[in-house]
Structure 1
Amino acid sequence: MSLPNIWHHRKVADTSAKGCEICFKPSASVLITPDKQDFFYVCQIHLKDTGFCSPIIDHEAIAAKKKKEMDEEIERVKKEYEEKQRKKKEKESEKEAEKDKEKEKDKKDDTSKTESKDEKKEDSIADEKDKSKEKSQLNDEEEPRVFALQRIFYQRRLDRKRQAEIAKRNRERLNNPNFFPSVPKDLP
């Protein structure tokens, strides 16, 4: 029974942290096989070490992610453009109304200036929130999630798995009464 050399990085609760397989420090990061046959705890620092493991990069997923981000960016720009065009039309209609009423022009200028300042502040706040959300999403997804262990460490995992299977078989054999030889019944 061989394990594939594909390990997925998972996080566990800090209360469930156990000793790292390499340095024995408490760690909440776990590497697990896709079929969940084997797992072990490892520090974040070791995941960045190329001597221990190397990330498996899924180029198709990265391309799909970039395409999705571009589509979202295009939609956002389109909405901003439509909003600006709408505001421009509103301002033009306001100017026409202002021409009709010279007395109300002074009042509307004062209110439109304050409204435009308020709109600019709201737009800038919304942009900052969008940027902070994007940065937090990028930080979460920057770390690779799938790894391949280096040959030495992978072989060590296979050896441990084999030793555990052998120990289990030996325990089962010792519990079986037919395993031991019987006492001779014939006289010598």
Structure 2
Amino acid sequence: MSFPNIYTHRKVAEAKAKSCDICYKPSSSVLITPDNKDWFYICPAHLKDPGFCTPKIDQAAIEARKKRELEEEIERVKKEYEERQKQKKNKEKKKEEEAKGEAKSGDDKSKDDDKADEDKRQKVPEKTEPSRSGASTSPAAEEEEPRVFELKSTFYNRRLSKKRQAEIARRNFETMQDPKFFPSVPKGFP
């Protein structure tokens, strides 16, 4: 019964926290193999210990995330550029209208002022949009921690032996439940 020495770090609910396999303190972090054959609770501090495990860095995932972030940045810059171009066009139109509008009455000027106020109100949510995109990048910063680990040989061998012992104990229990395991009572006279 062997399994790969690749463990993925997962979090469970605080209510489901159990004792760490190393120090026996309550922990909500779990290391689990990809095929779910082995798992155990571990403190996050142990994951940073170079004597316990080493992080496995997935270069393809890092490159894909950087590419995705770059594309998001490009889209954000394009939107900002388009907004600035619209604002420029609006300013040019206003200047042309003002040049033509000197002949307009005072009522028309008040309507233009109302339109300008509405434009300013619409611009406020647009300015808060970059902060939203900044908030979307903060979870990516949380994901900077490595999620895949490889245990050191001593700890991995300990996990293997623990699984073997559990398998042997299970087989022994099943064998003892079989009625043919024990000798039968003699039926004849001695």
TM-score by length of 2: 0.86
Q: Which moved more, 1:168-177 or 1:156-165?
A: 168-177
Match for residue 5 of structure 2? 5
Q: 1:187 to 1:115 in 2, by over 3 A?
A: closer
What is the CA deviation profile of residues 26-52 of structure 1, one whole-angstrom value per residue up to 9, with x for unaligned ones? 011111111111110001111111111
Matched residue, 2:28: 28
Q: Could you tell me which residue of structure 1 aligns to residue 128 of structure 2?
A: 125
Q: Which deviates more, 94-103 or 36-45? A: 94-103
Residue matched to 2:14: 14
- Stretch moving more, 118-127 or 60-69: 118-127
For 1:42, the equivalent position in structure 2 comes to 42
Matches within 5 A, 1:73-112: 73-102=73-102
User: Which residue of structure 2 aligns with residue 151 of structure 1?
Assistant: 153
Deviation at 1:173, TM superposition (A): 1.7
Q: Unpaired runs of 5+ in structure 2?
A: none
Q: Distance in 2 between matches of 1:45 and 1:114?
A: 55
Size of the aligned set, in residue pairs, is: 187
Deviation at 1:117, TM superposition (A): 6.0
Distance 1:37 1:111 in 2: 68
Q: Distance in 2 between matches of 1:43 and 1:16?
A: 14
Corresponding residue SS for 1:40: strand
Distance 1:183 1:116, change over 3 A: closer
- CA positional deviation for 1:162: 0.3
- Percent of matched pairs sharing the same residue: 56
Deviation at residue 13 of structure 1 after TM alignment: 1.0
Matched, 1:60 2:63: no
2-side partners of 1:72 and 1:132: how far apart?
A: 13
**1:67 & 1:127 partners in 2: Cα distance?**
19
* Distance in 1, Cα, partners of 2:3 & 2:171: 19
Counterpart residue identity of residue 160, structure 1: K
Computed over aligned residues only, the root mean square deviation of the Cα atoms, in angstroms, reads 2.6
Q: Name the stretch that deviates more: 42-51 or 151-160.
A: 42-51
Following superposition, the deviation at residue 123 of structure 1 comes to 3.8
Unaligned runs of 5+ in 1: none
Q: Give, in angstroms, the shift of residue 179 of structure 1.
A: 2.0
> Which amino acid letter does the alignment assign opposite residue 93 of structure 1?
K
Distance (Å, rounded) in 2 between the aligned partners of 1:110 and 1:184: 111
Q: Within 2, Cα distance between the matches of 1:115 and 1:185?
A: 104
The AA in structure 1 aligned to 2:149 is F
- Aligned residue number for residue 182 of structure 2: 180
CA distance in 2, matches of 1:108, 1:100: 15
